[in-house]
Amino acid sequence: MAVAPPPPLAVTINAQPQTVTLDLHRTVLIVVDMQNDFCAKDGWVDHLGVDYSPDRAPIEPLQRLLPVLRAAGVHVIWLNWGNRPDLKNMPPNQLHLYKPKGVGIGLGEPLPGSGARVLQKDSWAAAVVDELKQEPEDIHVDKYRISGFWDTPLDSILRNLGTRTILFAGVNTDQCVLHSLTDANFLGYGCVLVEDCCATTSPDFCVEATLFNVRKCFGFVTHSSQVMEALRQPSR
């Protein structure tokens, strides 16, 4: 019943508002909602007439960062919308929020052309974009709200891994990334937002407010290059 924890492996990362030292063996990367519905042509955001291209910005930095983190023993968690086909755990207020005018295509409804159902688990719509490679050892958690901690096993998984620090990436910076990060902060995890590995289709002022509040109240902000530089110089 007692498993010896791995020895600490400390690294120090340049960040704002100050540098942070974390234990790689107790750190995970959570990648939020890098899914076709948000980041791909013919996905939900594209169908809504919103320019989805900003949500693709994290793809290239994540392509560089993910292999480096995995090689360092950091767990990668894909935290994605993955609705039940019957939407039985989605209350009316949540369905209304994503179809505010009562018309158009909302959660669980088929997209034109492909027929993929919006953010439904195991559909093309909810799949991670092809450009981001998932490995067998990666962990997948379905979520059903803006925060990935609500009504999901995420917290239990993190605690079983012995996690103390979470690196956050994905979309949208000011929505699902931010609110998953704030809930993690309230639960006692150290939170580091990897700025260039996050993006949003919201106006620029939303990003500015998010970064300001993360730095002021909820954690730290860094860049993927700073993380990779720290991994090249571990301070044991």
Q: Which residue among the candidates 39, 143, 197, 198 is catalytic per the annotation?
A: 143
Q: Establish whether 33 is a catalytic residue.
A: yes
As beta bridge partners, residue 28 has: 75, 166
Q: Determine contact, residues 198/39, Cβ cutoff 8 Å.
A: no
Rounded to the nearest 10 degrees, the angle between the axes of helix 59-71 and helix 224-231 is 20
The rounded distance, in Å, linking the Cα atoms of 121 and 126 is 6
Q: Which residue among the candidates 46, 174, 176, 191 is catalytic per the annotation?
A: 176
Per-residue pLDDT of 55-80, as tens digits, reads 999 999 999 999 999 999 999 999 99
Per-residue pLDDT of 4-54, as tens digits, reads 888 999 999 999 999 999 999 999 999 999 999 999 999 999 999 999 999
Q: What pLDDT does residue 118 have?
A: 96
Kind and range of the H or E run holding 142: strand 139-143
Per-residue pLDDT of 189-229, as tens digits, reads 999 999 999 999 999 999 999 999 999 999 999 999 999 99
Average pLDDT estimate for 184-193: 98
Q: With cut-offs at 50, 70 and 90, classify the pLDDT of residue 236.
A: very low
Mean pLDDT (the chain, rounded): 95
The residue extents of the domains of the chain are 10-226
Q: How far is CA 39 from CA 110, 120, 174, 217, in A?
A: 17, 15, 16, 29
The rounded distance, in Å, linking the Cα atoms of 160 and 163 is 8
What percentage of the chain has pLDDT greater than the value 70?
99
Q: Given CATH 3.90.870.30, say whether it is the number of domain 10-226.
A: no
Kind and range of the H or E run holding 61: helix 59-71
